[in-house]
Amino acid sequence: MNNNNKPAAVILIVLLAAGITSASSWKEATRGPLVLKTLDYVLDLRVDYDHEKLFGDCRLTVLNSSSQPVGRIPLILYRLLKVKSVADSVGSALPFSQGVTEYEDWDRIQFNFIEVSLPSSILPGAKGTIALHYEGYLGGYQEAGVRYVRDKVDKDFTIIRMDGLAYPIVGVPSEAVNRAAGLQSYDYRINVTVPDSYQAANGGRLLGKVSRNGQTTFSFRNNKPAWRMDVAIAQYRVLEDAPNCLTVYHFPQDAAGGASVLKAMKDSMMLYSGWFGVLTGGQGLTTIEVPEGYGSQADVTAILLTRDVFNDRTRLTDLYHEISHLWFVKPLDPAPSRLESEGLAVFLQYLVQEKLEAKADALERGANRVRSRFLEQCKAKPEYTDIAIADYGKKDVTDLSYTKGMLFFYFLYRMAGEKALLDAVAAYYQKYHETGATLSDFLNIMKKSLDKDLSAFYRDWIYGADSSKLLVAGVPFDDIVKKYR
């Protein structure tokens, strides 16, 4: 927008004051790909427990990865968080619009959509920086069906993460467009201020903490380029294994569980490193305990792990699953099936349990359990039996990769053998961890590394649905192996 055009500026300010977002504006934004990439993020947070309110200041630097100038920065934020001001890199105020809307392809999710108008466009290959102040409340997305996102400001436990849109992220009101843009990769610094009795937890390096007037500010910096930022706040206790750069934040009552998790982290990291190679780009891993129901998940240097895993050693498979994601290859497909991430991780969680917990039948029992779960999914929605794994992302049914995707790897394991399969996964990680890969890249390296004719297996398991019919019909595992061996 040209700031010299005073009549237009006046009209825009009136619209902003009314909280009105132009429908044509955001629809225009969704027509093409999302071309702005986050490069650097500085986030200052203050938590007000008395009013259950969050205050945030962020400084966001983006790159224009397209061949055309970009004159607006689109952002999404939780629906009860409001932007109060936006400025450029030197502090000059910028016009912006905001308003609650929903994804055009996922209308149960509502959020605050913000568009920042720039005085001059960001040229192709150039960077732009904006600073925002925002404040408000968190309430999660349970009512929208995303049951694990129950994020809120609460004296017992508070979490601030991307899933709850607790800080502005580059995006538009189209889940398909946002997903097609792929994962971000940026550096961050987080400063979070909480009452003295609380501990802030993050997967980055703790730079220090400063206490003043009953409040403590914790400062963290990322260890590796990140695609998300998670901050959990509680009265945590901290365990460390300094030689291996491992840290566990646990609730005070779960000290024994914290020690168990720390040991399992060390043992499984050593096992994965032996299988796939030492992680590139730095070491260090943090596990943060969260209440049951908040969902276990991982980013590049941190794991959020639900409390039931801390208190039940049989649930350590959840930890093995999340740690396997550290050997992650960025998917390059527009709508990834998640076979190579979640399907593989479920397979590995049972294989690791077999190795570390001396449970000789863990993988076999896990495969049978997963098959039962897949049958439940198909019974609830019979159309699932007709969807090929390659289409899971396109059909928005990637949860099936946790079940049928796991069984794909189980049968590869039965046909090729443990060492051959693990060596193939290692070859995949070593070749593509820096560049990312498509599903075709993954399948080709599997075929090459295993030195087997997998055309019939791929036809039925990746590109077709005959395999689903075998599973639903109750064909024994041994007979399925014979069919493709």
Model pLDDT for residues 43-57, shown as the tens digit of each residue: 999 999 999 999 999
- Report how far apart, in Å, the C-alpha atoms of 110 and of each of 93, 103, 143, 347 are: 27, 7, 11, 35
Which tokens sit at 292? 């049951």
Task: Annotate 5-22 with DSSP letters as a single string.
Answer: -HHHHHHHHHHHHTT---
Q: Which residues sit opposite 284 in a β-bridge?
A: none
Computed over every residue of the chain, the mean pLDDT equals 92
Rounded Cα–Cα distance for residues 308 and 305 (Å): 8
pTM for the model stands at 0.89
Model pLDDT for residues 348-394, shown as the tens digit of each residue: 999 999 999 999 999 999 999 999 999 999 999 999 999 999 999 99
Rounded Cα–Cα distance for residues 448 and 472 (Å): 30
Counting other chains too, the contacts that 278-284 makes at CB distance below 8 Å and 24 or more residues apart are 279/326, 279/327, 280/433, 280/434, 281/224, 281/225, 282/223, 282/224, 283/244, 283/245, 284/205, 284/223, 284/245, 284/246, 284/247
Model pLDDT for residues 113-130, shown as the tens digit of each residue: 999 999 999 999 999 999
Are the C-beta atoms of 276 and 352 separated by less than 8 Å? no
Work out the percent of the chain whose per-residue pLDDT is above 70. Answer: 93
| Rg of the chain taking only CA atoms, in angstroms | 24
Give the side-chain half-sphere CA count within 13 A for 333: 18
Among 39, 91, 90, 35, CA closest to 60 = 39
Q: How confident is the model at residue 255 (pLDDT cuts 50, 70, 90)?
A: very high
Sign of the CA dihedral running 461, 462, 464, 469? positive
Model pLDDT for residues 319-357, shown as the tens digit of each residue: 999 999 999 999 999 899 999 999 999 999 999 999 999
Looking at residue 176, its pLDDT comes to 87
Euclidean distance between the first and the last CA atom of the chain, given in angstroms as a whole number: 64
Rounded Cα–Cα distance for residues 299 and 163 (Å): 12
pLDDT exceeds 90 at position 23: no
What domains does the chain contain, in order, with CATH numbers?
A: 1-184 (2.60.40), 339-484 (1.10.390.10)
